[in-house]
Structure 1
């Protein structure tokens, strides 16, 4: 059985600055669960162009407000506490945090644990 608290994560190398916030990685590849579980903070006032070419991701918002915009379709979805969104087609997207957001995220397959975004690049950052 694996048991971890947020305090365990914050004081470890599993607390990763991903570019526009923090990713607290409760489960990673070395935990051999097949998926990752993160508690992710997105800084207020930021917009991130993201794409996961090697992972599917589902996010459940538990705090804050923002939007997710699909690049291909240009659809904008409002995200607030109690909303889930899933990137079921490796969707390239903009994530904008109007206030500080907190998301519980699941990645399949699992993250290795050290991945970060390159938000300075012209292209979207990707895992």
Structure 2
């Protein structure tokens, strides 16, 4: 059994600055679960162009307000909203207020991946 507290992850190698926020990684590849679980913060006022070519991701918003834009459609995100990138969707993630997301990635993240946002705001894992 794996039991972890968020406080145990802060300021460790599992507390990853990803460009426009932080990804606190509860589960990574070496934990052997086959997926990753993160507590992700997206800073207010940011916009990120993201694409996961090697992972599928589902995000459940527990705090904040923002939007996801994919294929020209904008979807509002607030506490209680879930979105899943089931087609390796290239998307914009915008935080109007600081977002806190619980995210699941499959296959599992190795642990140190970062978006490495480019000047044009784009990124991919």
Taking structure 2 as the reference length, the TM-score comes to 0.97
Instruction: State the Cα deviation string for residues 26-73 of structure 1 (Å, max 9, x = none).
Output: 000000100000000000000000000000000000000000000xx2
Q: State whether residues 66 and 78 of structure 2, in contact with CA within 8 Å, keep that contact through their aligned partners in structure 1.
A: yes
Partner residue, 2:111: 113
Q: Which of the residues 74, 83, 88 maps onto 1:85?
A: 83
User: Structure 1 residue 11: deviation in Å?
Assistant: 3.3
Partner residue, 2:24: 24
Q: Which runs of 5+ in 2 are unaligned?
A: none
CA distance, structure 2, for counterparts of residue 25 and residue 14 of structure 1: 5
CA distance, structure 1, for counterparts of residue 17 and residue 28 of structure 2: 16
Partner residue, 2:10: 10
Report how many residues are paired: 125
More deviation, 2-11/78-87: 2-11
CA distance, structure 1, for counterparts of residue 53 and residue 119 of structure 2: 16
Partner of 1:11: helix, strand, or coil? Answer: coil
User: Structure 1 residue 124: deviation in Å?
Assistant: 2.8
Partner of 1:113: helix, strand, or coil? Answer: coil
- 1:24-103 matched pairs, under 5 angstroms: 24-70=24-70, 73-103=71-101
C-alpha RMSD of matched pairs (Å)? 1.0
User: Structure 1 residue 81: deviation in Å?
Assistant: 0.1
CA distance, structure 1, for counterparts of residue 97 and residue 74 of structure 2: 17
Taking structure 1 as the reference length, the TM-score comes to 0.95
Q: State whether residues 48 and 121 of structure 2, in contact with CA within 8 Å, keep that contact through their aligned partners in structure 1.
A: no
